Structure 1
Amino acid sequence: MPGTAPDAVAPGHAPAPEVHAAVLAAVVESALDAVIVTDEKGIVVTINPAAETTFGYSREEAQGRSIASLIVPEHLRTAHDDGMARYQRTRVPHVLGKRVAMEAACKDGRIIPVELAITEVSLPDQRLFTANLRDLSSARAAEREINRQQGLLHQSEKLAALGSLLAGVAHELNNPLSVVLGQAMMLREEIAAPGDRAVAAQRVERIEAAAQRCARVVRSFLAIARQREAARQAFDLAPLLDQSIDLVIYGLQSGGVEIVRDYGTDLPMVFADPDQVQQIVINLLVNAGQAMERQVGEKRITIAARAGRGVLSLRFSDNGPGVPPAIAGRIFDPFFTTKPHGLGTGIGLSVSRGLAQANGGELLLAATEGQGAVFELTLPAASSQGVAGLPEAEVSSSEAPSGRWRVLVVDDETEVAEVIGEILETLGCVCVTARTGREAEALVSARGGFDAVISDLRMPDAGGAEFFRWLEKSHPDLARRTVFVTGDALGPAARLFLDGCDRPVIEKPFVPAEMRRIVAGVLAATGSSAG
């Protein structure tokens, strides 16, 4: 027929079987994914070049072997054999037509993640099965890298927020430190001269209150900066809100912003990660303050807390310009920001919502332009989770384990070691001090008989980590009765070590109640004293 291509197939005429076979063979041979063809017993009939590349076997090596011995890892062999036996009994393949993620073994021993899809091929004299396997190694590596980069970006956003808080933190520390220094110097003068001891007692209370304020500021700052997995627990929200406000109050008040606290009454305890909740609160307060920077007249942020059914609701409202409706649906999108360059990365609200959801709550925009901005944060109440939030009680000397306990205190700051010793004396402890890890090793080797170890992390001539590894080898029982005291909570090396050693950690600045509680628990686990 004129105009018809020589190789065209006339309508109604199918290609010859050998053409079909050639086409199918070409498709399998050129497939980018691995293809393994087996018979009903799981014996390999053939594999394509992609399978040779992926698993390391040549076609000749693979043919005639069971697919189990070829690519099924040892820990999955039993499940595979059970599946084959079930198929032999029922002739019903359970994974046919499904896409399954699993692990596969390579010739060189590597275990790789793959996606598997099995198709049945019915022939006149037998049934064959083609296993299409896609190597997911690159995809999984890319996913891990994306997660790592997201984590770094998240940390970068936190550090940027911390930078904006530094002026306020310095102010919050300098004020109480001025009280500590001034009251301490006046106390020294009063003790040197005869006088009313009641005045001296009042000065001691003021010093303690100011020092506690410093400790709260430092701990709150470190809690925001550290990078770790969420640790949900029951806690009172009102004190955390006050601590968060303390960190930003200086910057807000310097900009003329008033903070109104409306916490309500009889609030339930919250079940969440307090550090992550604090990060959300600070993000919302900083955002509100920045939104009102150019505003003339009254500037106000109101924090209202109310109990709901199984939740606690926090509303952060300001009297600023609000959020225009045109962008209200985008403000939680990553990298979306209306701030000038240098004032944020645009992931603060996105991260805050993610943290809220990770803690079983939600963060929503409740009001937009014309009403100021209102953000509502809901968090699960501890009672709804079946969690009883009981405050940790002080441990007195009468409640501590009985006996004269010998405790080794290792700290290169002599004054710190002395304070720890004085605190532990109320538990019936006799403390021996060492200034370095090497000195501590010598004391343990020479004297022995210690019931517990309290060790700093960063010290010259063998730090706490090196000393602990020595204890694990030489005195494993004493290693299990070790408590770390550190001011290096943010150091990546310190964090990695502390996460791996699974021992109690007391962060500096510490308070006597916390020190006594943790050490008493370690001593109680020893069973008997050495004295």
Structure 2
Amino acid sequence: MTRRAPPLLRGWRPRLTLAALAVLTLLTLMTLALTFSRLNNVANLASVSITGWTYSEFTRQTAETRLLVSQGARPADLAVPLAILQSKAVIVTGEPLTGELPPTPRRALLRAAQAVQDLTPDALRTPAGQATLAAVMDGALEGYTGAVATLGLKRSRIASDLRAAEWALGILAVLLAVMSAVAVRQLLTGTLHALKTEVARSEEAEAARAQLERAAAELRAAETNLQRERDFALQVMGAMGEGLYVTGPDDRFEYVNPTLARTLGRSAAELVGQPVGAPLSGAPLSGAVGAERVTAELPLPLPDGRVMPTLLTRVPRGGGGSISVITDLTDIKQAEARLRNLYEVTTDPDDDLPGTLERLLRVGREAFRGAQGAYVRWNAHGPFVQASVGDVPDPAGLLRCGEQARQVGGACRSDDALAVPVMAGGDLHGALVFHRAPGAPPFGRPDEDFANLIGQWLEQAAERLRAHELLRVSEERNMAIIRSSLDAIITTDRWGVISEFNPAAESIFGFTREQARGQVMADLIVPPHLRAGHVAGLERLRGGGATRIAGKRLELTACRADGEEFPVELSVVPLPTTPVMYAGFVRDITERRAAEERLRERTTQLNSVFNVSPDGFVTFSQAGVIVDVNPAFLDLTGTTHADLLGLREQPFEALLARICDPLRAGGELLHLSRPARRVLKRTTRAMETDSGRTLGRVMYFRDITHEAEISSMKSEFMSTAAHELRTPMTSIYGFAELLLTRQLDPDTTRDLLDTIYRQAGRLILLLTELLDLARIEARAGKDFVIARQDLAPLIRSAAQAFAPPGESGRLTLNLPLLPPVPVDGGKVHQALGNVISNAFKYAPGGEVRIDAAPDPAGTGCVLVTVTDSGIGMTREQAARAFERFYRADHSGSIPGTGLGLSLVQEIMNCHGGSVSLASEPGQGTAVTLRFPLSVHPPPD
């Protein structure tokens, strides 16, 4: 039985309406569900915003820690901020938003968080720790920036979804109810506004928090600096040697330093708070102070009744009161009195040393409060007292103290004795000694300084007497020197009239002293053609003008009594006399001139040899310093004079080591790696005079690069040739011996004979190539028959002769019309054959191509290139391809001697051409022969 629908659902229109209503209701419910889902995301976004705040907190804590480190905080002060920073790093890494960050900020943030965990307070004070903290700051900022960007993206997406839901609900609300649409719209609008308000409040709160923390940090730093400065000021004032006190506006003590408290005989605690006038009664040190600085000398009464001379310095304070400093002037006043007494003695014009000595001893006795004084000197019998003041109860003690000063070479001081040495002319003249009675105050440093001052005045008096004595001795010595001098000494007045003519002058010029005195020097010993200039020079000298002879050593020409002119060395100096006199020192340099000329010629010859020698020379002085280097050494080593001159041997060896091959350093052979690869042989010789005195050393560097290469090539050639000859000879000898000693079957015998034949052929080929190579090198191409001919027939002939039988199809020729070239046809055929046979051997089954054409670069040459598609060579193998006996293939599967390309190179060199090779592994090889169009004679 079929159920019938309710009456309201009967008919298609009610059913359609009901279905449409149901669909509309379902769409409305789905839209509402989607809207509530996005609203839930808005609620979740609030927690994500808190997460963003944790990133900013991590960044802020990092910045605060860097600020503490930059201010020089101690490790103890850094422990708590670092622990907070490490905890915030752990929180940041555990936030869900961290996994949603872009890859670059996320990695930077995680590295920063990990680096924070490895830091310690001590490490933060090191440069490495500070660099790590800077890197953490960069990573935290990058992570914070990524978090802000991610949050913004989330907000944008939620806002977009909410706007779509708003439109959908609005359309549905029109169908359902206008009031429902208005309510939903108001709800969505309020939600968006609340979201924006929450974001704005979070940002404002973060900014306010950061500003508050910065202000708090600055306040703490200011308080710390203020306390540090206050403590430092108190330490300085407490350690002052002068008295210091501070008063307030009421003229009462606010601070008294320990020095002033001890001077007044009271403690600082007792004085603080009292009026200044009470403890300083009788001294005009109290009272109001003006706006200016006050400095005055004032007497200060002491508790024991004495009055101490002082210097008062008062400075006003900004808030009222003053700061005063009291300096004790007792020692200064006593020193002034001592100096005044000493000055009165030293300004006495009396030069009598004993009298001056006695007065100075009295000054010392008064300055040292009645101490006994004595002046001790030494003679052959020992020390003795030359002068003394006061009763000397212990002269032996004074002598002992003076002896101690003599041994020490300076002042000697004890509690009851003081001794000062007195020097004259750099030698010990005597010693001032003062002795105090037992119980008297001990001698101090100021006493020693004053005794030194007395000694200096006494030294001046002794120096004056010594100077008079030296002057007298000097005059006698000068006259003896003049008479015994080997140089001519001639004295004249300002007009040139001779007043003194010593025996050496008589011998040199041939005039007697009696003949010369009173004569004008220009007329006596100056050659006629030079007299006018000599007279003019004297005129300039008398007029105060410049002259070229006064005070200088000149080489001039003089004249003997017989008229002979000869070279002399002249030096003229003015004498300190009134009127002025001149002394001329003349030396006959005839022999010296001749010796200098010989030395000059010898030096020129040696310099020429030194400069043009192809070998390097480096000369060292006796002190081991480089003094000269020849051009050949500079060219060999690529150095300059500036690099070498003045160097000692150790830096020079270090310089050589830098340009030598480090694997072959040391020994007499130097293997240079730059400026070019060379081998130098070093020899060191000592430079000695005929008497055996050593003047220095010379290093001789000979370039033996060619000899070393020849020796290396010879050794390599002998080794390789012996190996290449031994291999076929061993096979021939062994198989021949086998045939002679055993009876073999015909097939085996045939195989052995074939092997002997092949090895004999290889041996003959090797010897032929060696002989050809040796013949070409020995004759240098002089036996070549050079004739201008076409290369194309030579190329075709060589290709036909050296292509393997049955493999000519692998060969491609590209031979356009070529200009004739001057060549030896037989040698070119041999060179082309070697290259072509190599191409076929090393490219089994591959194509071989021969191209010939004029050089496109316009060098006037014809290029013949043989290209194969074979196994090719590496760059290192290609670089050694033209070496004798070198083979890139060491397997032995490809026959050859390793001499083919060497022979090709020699043939092309004798033609004035060249051969080059280009190859890549697995891509084949191209060998290019370059034939010049003009005739080039073979090198000698």
| Bigger radius of gyration among the two | 2
Q: Larger RCO: Structure 1 or Structure 2 (Cα < 8 Å, ≥ 6 residues apart)? A: 1
Report the TM-score, using the length of structure 2 for normalisation: 0.17
